[in-house]
Amino acid sequence: MPAARESLLDAAYTALGRRPWTAVRMVDVAAVAGVSRQTLYNEFGSKEGLARALVRREADAYLAGVDRALATRTEVRERLAAAAEWTASSARDNALVRAMLTGCWSERLPAPTLSAVPSSSAVPAQRRADGPLPSPADFVALVRDRAVAVLSAPGTPKSDTAELARSCELVVRLALSCVAAPPGEGGVTDLVHTVLQRQPTRAGGPQVRSISR
């Protein structure tokens, strides 16, 4: 029931914005979604299952936003700046994304374990949610690898790809630092521009302006 599943996750996310997760009741989530409580349990198995699925969905939405940001411009530096801006704004606007990126889970939020949990669910999406959830270190690697895959020109030497990977990881970590301590005038973009200007320039590297993928 994909439509019911999304409605339930939407209802859970809305409820979390209004009260601590410990005060969110399954029966209320089901009522807001317009389905029975049994349907909710059939989809997620438990409140912990609902929490894991909600966290997984927000993680996927954040990473999809990274992909969109990396595809918006032709200049490497601007693409990386866009991804950094998206990271900072997502963390500012979404408490679950902020917790996932920083590892700081407040008492208001669900705190599902990052490791995989045994699953008896027949729902493929829930079995996926029962798998391991990304840690802050995982997000750094995921975003870095996405950026390298998008920004690397065909035939780029391994040494230049490695250099690009280092620059991408530097930008990701810079963005995460801005989550913890918001930047001043100029914002994240100016910081990314300043940092990348200091990186060595090679074919396929972060300052090459001709990449159009």
CA 75 – CA 95 distance, rounded (Å): 31
Where residue 207 falls among pLDDT bands split at 50, 70, 90? very low
Task: Name the residue type at position 184.
Answer: G
Q: Give the model confidence (pLDDT) of 152-192 as tens digits.
A: 888 888 888 999 999 999 999 999 999 988 888 888 999 99
Residue 31 sits at the vertex; the CA angle it makes with 27 and 35, to the nearest 5 degrees, is 100
pLDDT, position 80: 94
For residue 163, give both structure tokens: 């250099």
Q: Give the model confidence (pLDDT) of 20-37 as tens digits.
A: 999 999 999 999 999 999
Q: Give the model confidence (pLDDT) of 58-111 as tens digits.
A: 999 999 999 999 998 778 899 999 999 999 999 999 999 999 999 999 999 998
pLDDT, position 199: 65
